[in-house]
């Protein structure tokens, strides 16, 4: 635990670093790691010093809340809360996602069908604004407009230094049922039933996500949090690979910790691109390096060295486009989206994660109470030589919006500004920025997400 005194010292360092940034220069975080998948323009000005803002300040078990610093990773947050029998309402899949990042961006996981998105369990936030002030924002105080606009603002409205979040009491084990669906329509019906009743065949469902391997092979994974010690507990941090077990096992059991991080070890299924799923390579690949942040660094290294581009030239592959996206569409549109996706993109598996929001959030407007499904797909596709930039990603954007959905902004985006502002609360963001960043020290959301500045 950081403690309140250490937190106050870290905030003082942050404010001093803000004051040292030249007037007129854009303000940014001096943060070396990122889970974003879009390029960022170089910034010669010094960044904000966030050292000491990466831990848990305090946990109140009686109130079931935690005060957490903005750049605390979920790995560290879960380690602190789970030792006391609690977890955050929603824990995004990757260990190094930060709490502040998940709230100012978007995070999702299998509890989202009942708990919404990470920002919906936030009670209050201390935010460093573009104007250089620390304000405490809550849903109903004088900074409520900032509180409401902060989710999905990606640092364009400021940076959270402290967040108070609700916690959920949990038992030590999770039992799983991998239920095969004949097609997307059957999966949609099952998701609807589970969301309405909270159970499946008489057993409570605490976590719900799906994996679509092909049009007629879709599994819904139903998680039940349990105090009872299972007869056998699986370990997917070693030679076994979690996503493959979905096709191989009807039931399974994990510790709560391993369930939370089940996707991180192999970055869902993306570790296969680095050979980490090859039994011989996996045998010698150290376990501590089988994790999403290591794979992310390998991707960054390839972007610098151009290894894949060189291999493509040797193989005479005309072009390749990175398609790494998470999108949300209304539940009843899932079959239509997957059919389109197979025809136009052709990437499998696809991760499916249902969610419901509890209220309207202006910068990522989803209908409160309605069921949406997040579809996650991550990889590359071959494209014709000379294809315009973002050929496939632009098609994804058009298809998602035609179906009444939205796309997360952690990856590349290609909207024009008028469309972007209409989709992502441009008027609301502009009004809030005029109050909290009158001198435009922070990049706008459009500049960050589309222009990569």
CB count within 10 Å of CB 71 equals 23
What is the distance between the alpha carbons of residues 443 and 437, in angstroms, rounded to a whole number? 10
Q: 379-392 pLDDT, tens per residue?
A: 999 999 889 999 99
Tokens coding 129: 């604004």
Region 109-137: mean pLDDT is 97
Region 220-229: mean pLDDT is 95
Region 87-109: mean pLDDT is 96
Q: Which residues partner with 218 through β-bridges?
A: 181, 212
Residue 184: phi and psi, rounded to 5, are -65, -35
Q: 328-364 pLDDT, tens per residue?
A: 999 999 999 999 999 999 999 999 999 999 889 999 9
Decide if pLDDT at 265 tops 80. yes
How high is the pLDDT of residue 307? 75
How high is the pLDDT of residue 40? 63
How high is the pLDDT of residue 231? 84
How high is the pLDDT of residue 41? 60
Least Cα distance to 11 among 98, 71, 66, 59 occurs for 71
Residue with tokens 């469309």: 419
How high is the pLDDT of residue 248? 97
What is the distance between the alpha carbons of residues 297 and 286, in angstroms, rounded to a whole number? 16
Which H or E run includes 407?
Answer: strand 406-407
Domains assigned to the chain: 4-170+429-449 (3.30.465.10), 173-262 (no CATH), 306-414 (3.30.70.2520)
How high is the pLDDT of residue 315? 79
Sheet containing 207-214, strands listed edge to edge, beginning at the edge strand earlier in sequence: 251-255, 173-181, 217-226, 207-214, 350-355, 372-382, 320-330, 406-407
Decide if pLDDT at 259 tops 80. yes
Extract the runs of DSSP E, i.e. beta strands, from 25-105.
Answer: 56-60, 65-69, 86-88
Write the CB contacts of 136 (distance below 8 Å, at least 6 apart in sequence). Answer: 124, 125, 126, 127, 143
Please give the model's pTM, rounded to 2 decimal places: 0.95
Residue with tokens 């391993």: 258
Decide if pLDDT at 223 tops 80. yes
Write the CB contacts of 69 (distance below 8 Å, at least 6 apart in sequence). Answer: 2, 7, 10, 52, 53, 54, 55, 56, 57, 99, 100, 161, 162
Extract the runs of DSSP E, i.e. beta strands, from 227-347.
Answer: 251-255, 320-330
Of residues 358 and 234, more confidently modeled: 234
289 near 271, Cβ under 8 Å?
Answer: no
Q: 12-55 pLDDT, tens per residue?
A: 999 999 999 998 899 998 766 677 776 666 555 678 999 999 99
Region 86-94: mean pLDDT is 97
């Amino acid at each position: 635990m950081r403690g309140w005194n250490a937190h106050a010292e870290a905030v003082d360092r942050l404010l001093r670093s803000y004051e040292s940034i030249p007037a007129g220069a854009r303000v940014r975080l001096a943060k070396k790691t990122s889970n974003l998948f879009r390029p960022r323009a170089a910034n010669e000005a010094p960044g904000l010093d966030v050292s000491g803002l990466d831990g848990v300040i305090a946990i109140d078990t009686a109130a079931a809340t935690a005060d957490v610093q903005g750049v605390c990773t979920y790995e560290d947050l879960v380690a602190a809360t789970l030792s006391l029998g609690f977890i955050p309402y929603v824990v995004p899949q990757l260990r190094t996602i930060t709490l502040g990042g998940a709230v100012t961006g978007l995070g999702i996981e299998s509890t989202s069908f009942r708990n919404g998105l990470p920002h919906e369990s936030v009670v209050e936030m201390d935010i460093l604004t573009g104007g250089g002030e620390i304000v405490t924002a809550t849903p109903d105080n004088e900074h409520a407009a900032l509180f409401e606009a902060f989710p999905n603002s990606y640092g364009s409205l400021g940076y959270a230094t402290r967040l108070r979040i609700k916690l959920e009491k949990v038992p030590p084990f999770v039992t799983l049922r991998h239920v095969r669906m004949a097609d997307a329509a059957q999966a949609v019906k099952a998701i609807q039933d589970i969301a309405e009743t909270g159970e499946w065949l008489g057993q409570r469902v605490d976590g719900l996500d799906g994996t679509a391997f092909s049009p007629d092979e879709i599994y819904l994974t139903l998680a039940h949090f349990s105090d009872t010690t299972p007869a056998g507990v699986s370990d997917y941090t070693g030679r076994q690979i979690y996503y493959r077990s979905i096709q191989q096992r009807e039931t399974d059991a994990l510790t709560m910790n391993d369930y939370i991080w089940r996707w991180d070890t192999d970055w869902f299924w993306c570790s296969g691109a680095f050979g980490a799923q090859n039994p011989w390579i996996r045998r010698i690949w150290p376990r501590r390096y089988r994790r999403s942040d290591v794979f992310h660094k390998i991707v960054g290294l390839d972007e610098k060295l151009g290894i894949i581009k060189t291999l493509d030239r040797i193989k005479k592959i005309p072009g390749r486009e990175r398609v790494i996206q998470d999108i949300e569409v209304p539940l009843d549109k899932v079959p239509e989206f997957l059919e389109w996706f197979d025809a136009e993109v052709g990437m499998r598996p696809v991760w499916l994660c249902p969610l419901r929001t509890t209220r309207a959030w202006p910068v990522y407007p989803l209908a409160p109470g309605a069921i949406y499904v997040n579809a996650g797909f991550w990889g590359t596709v071959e494209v014709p030589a000379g294809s315009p930039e973002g050929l496939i990603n632009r098609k994804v954007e058009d298809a998602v919006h035609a179906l009444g959905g939205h796309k997360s902004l952690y990856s590349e985006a290609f909207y024009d500004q008028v469309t972007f502002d209409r989709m992502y609360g441009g008027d609301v963001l502009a009004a809030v920025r005029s109050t909290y960043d009158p001198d435009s020290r922070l990049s706008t959301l459009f500049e960050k997400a589309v222009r990569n500045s």
